[in-house]
Amino acid sequence: MIPLSLKKYLLLIVPLAYIFLGSYSHQLIGLYSLRAGDPEFIYYISGLSLANGKFMLGHIDNPGTPLQYLAAFVFRGVYALRSHQAPFNHDVLANPDMYLHVLNLILTTVVAFFVYFAGKTLLRISNNLTYSVLLQLSPFFTSIIFLNVGRVVPENLMPVPVMLLSLLLLYLYYQPEDEQYRKHSIWFGLISAFGLSIKLTYFPLWIIPLIVIKSWKNKLIYSGTAIVSFFVMALPVTF
């Protein structure tokens, strides 16, 4: 029998491995400016636009809005920590690879944090270490994610809503006596909106809550929450 304290430490293995893989992959890729412009520099410009408060973006087809928001916050944060006299836009445009490098590091760290959070939460719900580690391996289930871990692409954020959706489904499985269906419908809607704001390929997963949620009233609550929340989260698409 593995002690609970040891299980929590074991749940650090996958997140740390993900960070190591991201750092190693990024070193192999090298400078983004010498490799390619799509999609790194598309999100570089979109993030800079959002950092300046401009929501009318030219690139919304993914739509990749969470990555654009993250880029804006990272750029502003990096600029605030730098010692220089150059204006914000000049500094970002003069050092694109440095800003993109930090963005990739933060992106990898955010996903690794959610990997640990998902594993720890499922361990608390199910007390099953195997299931918890299996959920943590979500970023490695498809090559489009783990082979691009060193890049700045919206697909790298996709494991976050997938793990949140899995956690909510597993919570309902292990806690069937919890009858707060309206609350669950709202959470399903928020997660679905977040997933679709990252990549439109998340759309098929919108069907799963419609199957799980029991009454038509709660199905409508889920659908309304998902649609409205999507247009709120993906403001560049809305505008």
State the pLDDT at residue 162: 96
Per-residue confidence (pLDDT) for residue 145, from 0 to 100: 85
- For residue 209, the model assigns a pLDDT of 95
Give kind and range of the element (H or E) at residue 219: helix 216-233
Alpha-carbon dihedral angle through residues 139, 37, 102, 120, given to the nearest 10 degrees: -10
Residue 103 main-chain phi, psi, to 5 deg: -60, -45
> Cβ neighbours of residue 162 under 8 Å, at least 6 residues apart?
138, 195, 205
Flag residues of the chain having pLDDT under 50: none
Contact by Cβ (8 Å): 140, 159: no
CA of residue 67 relative to chain centroid, distance: 8
Average per-residue pLDDT for the chain: 92
pLDDT in tens, 63-113: 999 999 999 999 999 999 987 788 999 999 999 999 999 999 999 999 999
Total residue count of the chain as it appears in this document: 239
DSSP for residue 88: H
Residue of 226, 125, 127 whose CA lies nearest to 185: 226
CB contact at 8 A, 198 and 66:
yes
